[in-house]
């Protein structure tokens, strides 16, 4: 289950926009072998909102595009499909019958700015940022070069399946 909430009023996300993001999240989770009912929260904010959350939660006093707050712990270098295959989840990992994967906070304002800066569509930028964040919820990272390469490959694979490329 994907919970979407909008806490900004600068860009009105259409139902089609929200449905596309939900569809991509579902697809990404299936591709990453999440075979249990899950819960992800997706919160839309503006630059001021994400700045505040970034400062409060991470101690970083600046605007960013997207934040990921994973709820599961991953062994070093492992992602969901490696770390939790066949795993019996504990009660604290669940909300009822749903596995709580985490929260995503997306600045729609920053996504719009970056789409212009990078010369592609707003939809492409928002989809990329959400998929990037979903992969973080699943244990992917980009701190080391080999991790970055793997994460980028997964992002591009998922975006390609929806014909979302840099030209859109």
Query: Which residues line the annotated binding site for Zn(2+)?
Result: 132, 136, 142
Rounded distance between C-alpha atoms, residue 96 and residue 99, angstroms: 8
The alpha carbon of residue 84 and the mean position of all alpha carbons in its chain are separated, in whole angstroms, by: 19
Only one residue has tokens 């990992």, namely 93
Token code pair at residue 86: 């066949």
Token code pair at residue 82: 């490696």
End-to-end CA, the chain? 28
User: What are the start-end ranges of the E strands in 23-164?
Assistant: 38-45, 66-70, 94-95, 98-107
Q: Specify binding-site residues.
A: 132, 136, 142
């Amino acid at each position: 289950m994907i919970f979407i909430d909008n806490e900004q009023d600068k860009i009105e996300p259409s139902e089609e926009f929200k449905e596309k993001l939900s569809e991509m999240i579902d697809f990404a989770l299936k591709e990453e072998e999440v075979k249990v009912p899950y819960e992800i929260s997706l919160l839309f904010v503006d630059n001021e909102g994400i700045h505040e959350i970034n400062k409060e939660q991470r101690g970083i006093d600046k605007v960013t595009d997207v934040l990921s707050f994973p709820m599961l712990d991953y062994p070093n270098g492992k992602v969901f499909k490696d770390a939790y295959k066949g795993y019996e989840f504990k009660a604290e990992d669940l909300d009822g019958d749903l596995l709580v994967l985490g929260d995503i906070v997306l600045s729609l304002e920053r996504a719009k700015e970056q789409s212009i800066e990078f010369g592609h569509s707003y939809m492409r930028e928002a989809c990329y940022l959400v998929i990037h964040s979903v992969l973080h919820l699943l244990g992917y990272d980009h701190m080391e070069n080999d991790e970055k390469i793997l994460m980028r490959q997964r992002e591009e694979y998922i975006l390609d399946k929806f014909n979302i490329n840099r030209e859109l």
